[in-house]
């Protein structure tokens, strides 16, 4: 009887030797390298005077916005909706940061490190989803599941070993990618940007990067669970595409408040440095709600968990032919 | 009549390594309320030791039976045991002693044969030297680095067998092991199977369509037809009981004689200048038919009963439609 270590080790070997999986990881590494080189070309250093002027301009814009909102609220006749007449409160408005007032495109360490870590995380989560679907889809289409079931009769143990191997490999790659980004961004800031005087928001940055690693693992697990249900890569991709296009589109159109439960909104909320704001107009009134990182994480974990649970139950009962 | 599987077991002559009792299985057709009955109360027992042939026409339920034994397919009813343990509930306790090759070998296409076996060995915590032993056993040591997808059908089959024997199993289940092999390969696999069966440690169950191969390598045989066991026992017993001997006729005009017998409904062919009539029953009838058309036989010799004639005798009804429920 195989031990848990034997199983996970064997499954990791199988995963990392799948051509589609290797290509996906290679594509992620190449995209990262090309992106990093492009950033060195895109950004250029700014003088201290330019930075000071941009900061001042950003501060005055934020102050103006807060003042006009306060005046609007003050002059509002009773019974009128604040959100429809005056818009969002300054705290909820996206007024950006001082970099948008810089004349040159400069890499600002404390701003761009976080923003680009988020972008890298989201892009890798999409690749991780593909890795999950390709891995499990190929395991079904090549008949490997039937073969392996004659080596490990406990199908749930087999599925668990595959899932652990997958999230282990994806997690390690995602951590590597985020660590490489920290090093790259420090070099970028020194050569093509501003390294200070503001400190790096380490807590916010590492928190975000941690969530990005978790997101990649959840995305891989989601793809894996979907491919296990459909028993094919193409089927899983088709369902994911159809869901995003049809189901999410329909919910946004017919029941905007249901957006809190949509996967893509929760992905963005989980990847967001602050609470994620969903806003829409209903009966001429601006309505909105926030999704916290925790809420988004729990929602996504429940969706993936449910898919895995159904897939496991089916695998346990179904004939392997 | 040959010894039935059940009676072998009941007499307690041997320990059963496989024991299927009243096993039923039907598959529902997609988009249909009807289901197709594949196994209809199958009783099948394989005693320990030797090589046991498992025969049946296409669609008789052989592969489904093998899958049920391995826990891949769940039976609708009946009981299944291998090595004395219930399947699928207790399969985990004995699976380390069971090797199997069911259908085509399904190894990883991009990996070499050696790496495929090494990874499978990891699942069972086997020592790496076992992989080399098995590659050597099936004559694949020199081609072990070829990616599985680049292997010929015969090489793939050998690797499938190597994977099946990797665990040094007490019970080895092989589904069509000679598929795709050239004559030399078939002989090697036959010798290997016989050697394993003779070792006393491994019981080999071989499911095959190649009656001649089964005849050459098996000590015992079970014949399945329409989801039921129709005969089981020692090869010689089976041939003696069910086999209807062929008749070899020496006659001047073999082609014209063949035509006469064919018109009368006999199956015959010309071999070495003689006419061989398949399982004709009473040879005197043949003589009478030929003489009536002016063909006089100079010799009319009944041949020993073969597995083929036993098989055909037992499974002729298999061509009729399968029942549905």
Enumerate the residues of chain B whose CB falls inside 8 A of the CB of residue A151: 95, 120, 123-124
- Please report, in angstroms and rounded to a whole number, the separation of the first and last CA atoms in chain A: 23
B95:A153 CB<8 A: yes
Q: What percent of chain A has pLDDT over 90?
A: 50
**What is the structure's pLDDT at B244?**
65
Check if B205 contacts A (Cβ < 8 Å). no
Check if B102 contacts A (Cβ < 8 Å). yes
B107:A7 CB<8 A: no
Residue in chain A closest to B71 (alpha carbons) equals: A153
A151:B73 CB<8 A: no
B71:A149 CB<8 A: yes
With 0-12 CB in 10 A as exposed, 13-18 as middle and 19+ as buried, what is A106?
Answer: buried
Q: Tell me the shortest Cα–Cα distance from A249 to chain B, in angstroms.
A: 31
Q: Each residue's pLDDT tens digit in chain B (325 positions)?
A: 344 433 334 444 557 899 999 999 998 776 667 788 889 999 999 999 899 999 888 888 899 999 999 999 999 999 999 999 998 889 889 998 999 998 888 888 888 999 999 989 988 888 889 999 999 988 899 999 999 989 988 889 899 999 999 999 999 999 988 887 888 888 888 888 998 888 888 999 999 877 778 888 898 999 898 888 888 888 777 766 666 667 888 888 888 889 998 888 888 888 888 888 876 777 788 888 889 988 888 888 877 666 676 676 667 654 443 433 3
Residue A141 φ/ψ, nearest 5 degrees: -70, -25
A144:B74 CB<8 A: no
Angle made by CA atoms A259, A262, A266, in degrees to the nearest 5: 100
Check if A149 contacts B (Cβ < 8 Å). yes
Lowest mean pLDDT among A87-101, A297-311, B21-35, B227-241: A87-101
Angle made by CA atoms B223, B226, B228, in degrees to the nearest 5: 55
Can you tell me the mean pLDDT for A35-45? 91
Can you tell me the mean pLDDT for A174-183? 96
Check if A147 contacts B (Cβ < 8 Å). yes
Q: Which ranges of chain B would DSSP assign to H, the alpha helix?
A: 5-11, 62-69, 91-94, 113-123, 129-137, 153-165, 183-198, 211-217, 235-242, 254-263, 283-292, 307-315
With 0-12 CB in 10 A as exposed, 13-18 as middle and 19+ as buried, what is A162?
Answer: buried
**What is the structure's pLDDT at A301?**
96
Pick the residue of B89, B91, B108, B120 with the most A CBs within 10 A to test the interface with A by mutation: B108
B106:A142 CB<8 A: yes
Check if A75 contacts B (Cβ < 8 Å). no
**pTM: predicted TM-score of the whole model, two decimal places:** 0.78
Which has the closest alpha carbon to A277: A48, A147, A89? A89
Q: What percent of chain A has pLDDT over 70?
A: 96
A209-249 tens-digit pLDDT: 999 999 999 999 999 999 999 999 999 999 999 999 999 99
Q: Nearest CB to B71: which of A1, A142, A153?
A: A153
Pick the residue of B23, B72, B98, B120 with the most A CBs within 10 A to test the interface with A by mutation: B72
Contacts of B154 (CB under 8 A, 6+ apart): B180, B181, B182, B185
Strand B85-86 and strand B35-47: the pairing is: unpaired
Angle made by CA atoms B230, B233, B235, in degrees to the nearest 5: 110
Angle made by CA atoms B129, B135, B140, in degrees to the nearest 5: 145
B106:A10 CB<8 A: no
Cis, bond preceding A197 (omega within 30 deg of 0): yes
**What is the structure's pLDDT at B4?**
40
Query: In whole angstroms, what is the distance from residue B168 CA to residue B172 CA?
Result: 9
- What is the CB-side half-sphere exposure of residue B241 using CA atoms within 13 A? 15
Which has the closest alpha carbon to B161: B194, B138, B179, B186? B138
Check if A100 contacts B (Cβ < 8 Å). no
Q: Can you spell out the DSSP letters for A106-123?
A: -EEHHHHHHHHHHHHHHH
Enumerate the residues of chain A whose CB falls inside 8 A of the CB of residue B123: 2, 6-7, 10, 148, 151-152
Query: Which tokens go with A94?
Result: 């996206």
pLDDT band at A34 (very low <50, low <70, confident <90, very high): very high
Q: Nearest CB to A153: which of B91, B108, B122?
A: B91
Query: In whole angstroms, what is the distance from residue B276 CA to residue B302 CA?
Result: 10
Is A277 a residue whose pLDDT tops 50?
yes
Query: In whole angstroms, what is the distance from residue A179 CA to residue A32 CA?
Result: 12
More confident site: A80 or B46: B46
Strand B85-86 and strand B203-207: the pairing is: unpaired
A6:B123 CB<8 A: yes
Is A6 a residue whose pLDDT tops 90?
no
Pick the residue of B123, B125, B171 with the most A CBs within 10 A to test the interface with A by mutation: B123
Is A11 a residue whose pLDDT tops 70?
yes
Contacts of B316 (CB under 8 A, 6+ apart): none
Query: Which tokens go with A49?
Result: 């005077």
ipTM score here?
0.72
Check if A152 contacts B (Cβ < 8 Å). yes
**What is the structure's pLDDT at A47?**
78
Enumerate the residues of chain B whose CB falls inside 8 A of the CB of residue A145: none
Query: In whole angstroms, what is the distance from residue B41 CA to residue B44 CA?
Result: 10
**What is the structure's pLDDT at A231?**
92
B122:A6 CB<8 A: yes
Check if A94 contacts B (Cβ < 8 Å). no
Query: In whole angstroms, what is the distance from residue A57 CA to residue A46 CA?
Result: 16
**What is the structure's pLDDT at A95?**
61
**What is the structure's pLDDT at B237?**
77
Query: Which tokens go with A232?
Result: 């094919």
Contacts of A149 (CB under 8 A, 6+ apart): A155, A158, A320, B70, B71, B72
pLDDT band at A165 (very low <50, low <70, confident <90, very high): very high
Residue in chain A closest to B63 (alpha carbons) equals: A321
B119:A154 CB<8 A: no
- Count residue pairs from A and B with Cβ separation < 8 A: 75
Query: Which tokens go with B159?
Result: 């690797």
Pick the residue of A151, A156, A161, A316 with the most B CBs within 10 A to test the interface with B by mutation: A151
- Are B227 and B40 in contact by the 8 Å Cβ rule? The answer is yes
Strand B16-28 and strand B35-47: the pairing is: antiparallel
């Amino acid at each position: 009887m195989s031990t848990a270590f034997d199983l996970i080790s064997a499954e990791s070997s199988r995963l990392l030797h799948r051509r589609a999986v290797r290509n996906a990881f290679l594509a992620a590494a190449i995209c990262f390298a090309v992106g990093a080189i492009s950033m060195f070309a895109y950004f250029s250093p700014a003088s201290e005077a330019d930075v000071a002027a941009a900061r001042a301009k950003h501060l005055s814009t934020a102050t103006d916005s807060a003042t006009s909102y306060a005046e609007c609220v003050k002059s509002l006749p009773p019974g009128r909706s604040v959100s429809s007449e005056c818009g969002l409160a300054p705290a909820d408005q996206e007024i950006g940061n001082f970099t948008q007032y810089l004349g040159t495109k400069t890499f600002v360490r404390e701003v761009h490190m976080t923003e680009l870590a988020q972008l890298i995380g989201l892009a890798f989560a999409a690749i991780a989803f593909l890795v999950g679907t390709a891995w499990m889809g190929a395991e079904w289409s090549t008949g490997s599941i039937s073969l392996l079931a004659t080596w490990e009769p406990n199908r749930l143990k087999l599925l668990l070993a595959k899932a652990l191997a997958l999230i282990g490999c994806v997690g390690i790659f995602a951590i590597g990618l985020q660590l490489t980004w920290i090093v790259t961004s420090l070099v970028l800031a020194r050569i093509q940007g501003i390294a200070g005087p503001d400190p790096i928001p380490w807590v916010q940055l590492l928190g975000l990067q941690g969530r990005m690693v978790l997101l990649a693992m959840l995305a891989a697990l989601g793809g894996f669970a979907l491919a296990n249900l459909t028993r094919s890569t193409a089927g899983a991709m088709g369902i994911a595409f159809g869901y995003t296009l049809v189901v999410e589109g329909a919910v946004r159109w017919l029941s905007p408040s249901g957006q809190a439960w949509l996967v893509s909104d929760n992905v963005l909320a989980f990847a967001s440095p602050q609470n994620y704001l969903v806003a829409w107009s209903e009966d001429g009134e601006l309505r909105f709600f926030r999704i916290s990182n925790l809420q988004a994480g729990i929602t996504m974990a429940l969706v993936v968990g449910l898919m895995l649970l159904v897939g496991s139950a089916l695998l346990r009962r179904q004939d392997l032919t | 009549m040959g010894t039935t599987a059940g009676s072998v077991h009941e007499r307690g002559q041997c320990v059963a390594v496989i024991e299927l009792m009243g096993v039923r299985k039907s598959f529902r057709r997609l988009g249909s309320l009807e289901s197709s009955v594949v196994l209809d109360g199958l009783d099948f027992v394989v005693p320990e030791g030797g090589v046991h042939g498992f025969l049946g026409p296409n669609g008789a339920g052989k592969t489904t039976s093998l899958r049920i034994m391995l826990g891949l397919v769940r039976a609708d009813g009946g009981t299944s045991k291998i090595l004395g343990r219930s399947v699928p509930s207790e399969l985990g306790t004995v699976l380390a002693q069971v090797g199997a090759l069911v259908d085509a070998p399904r190894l990883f296409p991009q990996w070499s044969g050696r790496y495929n076996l090494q990874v499978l060995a990891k699942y069972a915590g086997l020592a790496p030297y076992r992989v080399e032993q098995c590659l050597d056993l099936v004559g694949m040591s020199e081609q072990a680095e070829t990616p599985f997808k680049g292997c010929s059908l015969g090489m793939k089959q050998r690797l499938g067998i190597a994977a099946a024997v990797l665990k040094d199993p007490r019970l080895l289940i092989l589904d069509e092991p000679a598929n795709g092999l050239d004559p030399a390969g078939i002989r090697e696999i036959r010798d290997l199977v016989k050697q394993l069966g003779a070792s006393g440690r491994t019981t080999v169950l071989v499911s095959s369509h190649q009656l001649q191969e089964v005849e050459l390598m098996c000590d015992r045989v079970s014949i399945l037809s329409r989801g039921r066991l129709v005969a089981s026992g020692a090869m010689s017993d089976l041939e003696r009981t069910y086999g209807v001997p062929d008749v070899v006729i020496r006659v001047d005009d073999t082609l014209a004689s063949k035509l006469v017998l064919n018109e009368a409904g006999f199956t015959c062919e010309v071999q070495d200048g003689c006419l061989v009539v398949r399982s004709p029953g009473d040879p005197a009838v043949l003589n009478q038919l030929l003489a009536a058309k002016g063909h006089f036989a100079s010799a009319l010799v009944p041949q020993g009963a073969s597995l083929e004639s036993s098989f055909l005798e037992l499974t002729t009804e298999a061509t009729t439609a399968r029942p549905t429920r």
